[in-house]
Amino acid sequence: MSSSRADDAEGPAALPGDLADALAAVRPRLGCLGSSIIYCPSAGSTNDVAARLATNTACEGTVVIAGRQTAGRGRRGREWFSPPGGGLYVSVVLRPGRSPYGGLRAAGLLTLAAGVALAEAVATATGLSADLKWPNDLYVARRKLAGVLAEVAGGGAPEIVLGYGINVGPMAFPPGLRDRATSIESELGREVDRAVLLAESLASLARRYGDLLDGRFDAILDAWRARAPAASGARVTWAAPSGAASGTTAGIDDEGALLVRVGDRIERIVAGEVTWV
């Protein structure tokens, strides 16, 4: 495993020793992930750093880690609150399209696979159980714990940059997030080992990414459904082409689309903004 340096808001930095030791301990479980590791004490967005690398020289499995993000984002360009020491901010360069068992399907299920991996990693490393909410969030009760953002690098390259953020330590969330976000340590009432959590998150992601590449799509879908109680029987609203719509969730299909019952028909939602009532 090699570690690299990257210039950003605070200049280049070596991978901190505790992170290096934790990653070395799980090296046999990482597969191609972590072939190169870039650590930024401060980055605008780890996805942006990874995307620049992906369109230049980065190989699959390159990992970007930041101590904080000054322009972290989630889906639809929303800000991801990323203070120093508050959480884990990570992006990985992947190529799910190379799966011989259905590259497009593997790419389409990547976000769900990542959600499963993060939920499994949080449980393994800290003992905290988190629920999944379509398409890309981890929740404890009604508060967001972590999120996933997958973006195509370079607007057409085969690489996908998969970013994730996990709220770890107690944080002074902005007013708009105080009632909607939580952290692992706030939920557990104790400190957790962030280095172990980072290593476990990448090892778990490597395992579930392997499932995608090897065509074990049912394993991903079954694991996601088992951790997503709100995927069935919850009231949701969304913006349909004909205007605002509402219905009751009825699970996900084998392509990862959210199914919603509206009257006597089933709507299939593949993208867009869904509000959970």
Put the strands of the sheet holding 36-40 in their side by side order: 2-5, 36-40, 63-66, 87-94, 160-167, 143-152, 137-140, 131-133
Helix (H) or strand (E) holding 245: strand 243-252
- pLDDT above 60 (res 2): no
The class level of CATH for 230-276 reads: mainly beta
For the chain, give the mean pLDDT. 88
CATH 3.30.930.10, the chain: domain bounds: 2-226
CATH architecture of 2-226: 2-Layer Sandwich (3.30)
Give percent of the chain above pLDDT 90: 68
Helix axes 194-213, 17-25, angle to 10 degrees: 40
Using one digit for the tens of pLDDT, what is the confidence trace for 105-156?
999 999 999 999 999 999 999 999 999 999 889 999 989 999 999 998 865 5
133: which strand partners? 137
* CA separation for the pair 40, 17 (Å, rounded): 14
The mean pLDDT value for 261-269 works out to 95
Using one digit for the tens of pLDDT, what is the confidence trace for 181-219?
899 999 999 999 999 999 999 999 999 999 999 999 999
Q: What are the Cα distances from residue 95, in Å, to 118, 128, 247?
A: 19, 30, 35
CATH 2.30.30.100, the chain: domain bounds: 230-276
Compute the chain's Rg from CA coordinates: 18
Close Cβ partners of 145 (under 8 Å, ≥ 6 residues apart)? 122, 130, 138, 139, 166, 167, 181, 182, 183, 184, 187
Residue whose entry in the numeric block shows the structure tokens 């349909």:
240
The amino acid at 79: E
